[in-house]
């Protein structure tokens, strides 16, 4: 799956999960309402539990405690009466079904629909996490090539972020680091790395668009900061950054957001 297709699949899974979850809630609420009336329960109460507590919790509680009594229509007045009642409490007629085995009920169509949409919702969550994992693996998978016309940037093997981010995405396609970030907490960062073969002949190119700032690009080597550039204050795009201050070997890049929003751009080495 390509890096472009992965975010599309991810958002489709989100939409499918939301739609199927809503359908699951509605179908289960309808089934609870109808079935609760047949068992002498308050149908409105069970629907409220389903909506405000949780459909799963409501279903478990109802199956465990709500179906203790089965209501059947009186043969005389058609009012619902307990299956165990000898006489109808409404018209006084004898219950012809008293002490008889309960009729076997088939699974209601609403319950079938609720089970099906619940399964779709669960599967969409699983596929959503699979797409997210594949996107992360794709973002970190860059090939290391030196001595060519350009040096490919690849994803950092492991980074830790203590902040939060809204709609964050990045990938490494043909050695170019592409990134986007809608909004995040101050200090949120994205990381990449590349192997520098000739510091005097190479230039780091950064093309970034954002609102506000600062948006810092930190260049480090062997754990030491070599240079820090505020991309949000660049007068021209792309920004050309000489790498003669670095030595041959691995160079680490860190894009740090300190207040910018609607960030998008690309970074590569020429």
Report pTM. 0.50
Query: Which residues have CB under 8 Å from 78's CB, separation 6+?
Result: none
Looking up tokens 């660049």 gives: 234
Q: What is the pLDDT of residue 34?
A: 86
* Structural tokens at position 119: 């399964």
* Structural tokens at position 210: 């954002």
Q: What is the pLDDT of residue 135?
A: 56
Q: What is the pLDDT of residue 11?
A: 76
DSSP 8-state assignment for residue 42: -
All residue ranges of the chain with pLDDT < 50 are: 1-4, 137-149
| Of 97, 102, 94, 103, nearest in space to 76 by CA | 94
With contact defined as beta carbons under 8 Å apart, do 259 and 253 qualify?
Answer: no
Q: What is the pLDDT of residue 80?
A: 75
Q: What is the pLDDT of residue 241?
A: 94
DSSP 8-state assignment for residue 7: H
CA dihedral 124, 125, 128, 133 (to 10 degrees): -140
| Of 163, 256, 240, nearest in space to 207 by CA | 240
Q: What is the pLDDT of residue 142?
A: 38
């Amino acid at each position: 799956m390509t890096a472009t297709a992965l975010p599309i699949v991810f958002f489709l899974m989100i939409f499918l999960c939301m739609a199927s979850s809503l359908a699951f809630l509605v179908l289960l609420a309808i089934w609870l309402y109808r079935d609760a009336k047949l068992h002498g329960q308050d149908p409105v109460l069970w629907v409220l539990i389903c909506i405000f507590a949780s459909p799963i919790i409501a279903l478990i509680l109802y199956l465990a405690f709500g179906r203790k009594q089965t209501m059947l229509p009186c043969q005389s007045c058609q009012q619902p009466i307990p299956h165990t009642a000898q006489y109808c409490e409404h018209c006084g007629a004898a219950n012809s079904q008293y002490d008889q085995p309960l009729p076997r009920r088939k699974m209601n169509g609403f319950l079938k629909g609720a089970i099906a949409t619940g399964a779709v919702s669960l599967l969409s969550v699983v596929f959503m996490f699979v797409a997210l994992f594949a996107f992360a693996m794709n973002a970190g998978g860059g090939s290391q090539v030196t001595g060519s016309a350009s040096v490919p940037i690849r994803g950092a093997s492991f980074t830790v972020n203590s902040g939060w981010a809204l709609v964050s995405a990045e990938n490494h396609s043909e050695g170019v680091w592409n990134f986007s970030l809608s909004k995040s907490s101050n200090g949120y960062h994205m990381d990449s790395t590349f192997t520098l073969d000739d510091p005097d002949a190479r230039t780091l190119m950064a093309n970034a668009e954002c609102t506000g700032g600062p948006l810092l690009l930190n260049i480090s080597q062997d754990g030491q900061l070599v240079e820090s550039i505020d991309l949000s204050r660049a007068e021209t795009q792309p920004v050309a950054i000489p790498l003669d201050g670095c030595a041959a070997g691995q160079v680490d890049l860190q894009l740090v957001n300190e207040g910018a929003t609607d960030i998008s751009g690309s970074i590569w080495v020429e």
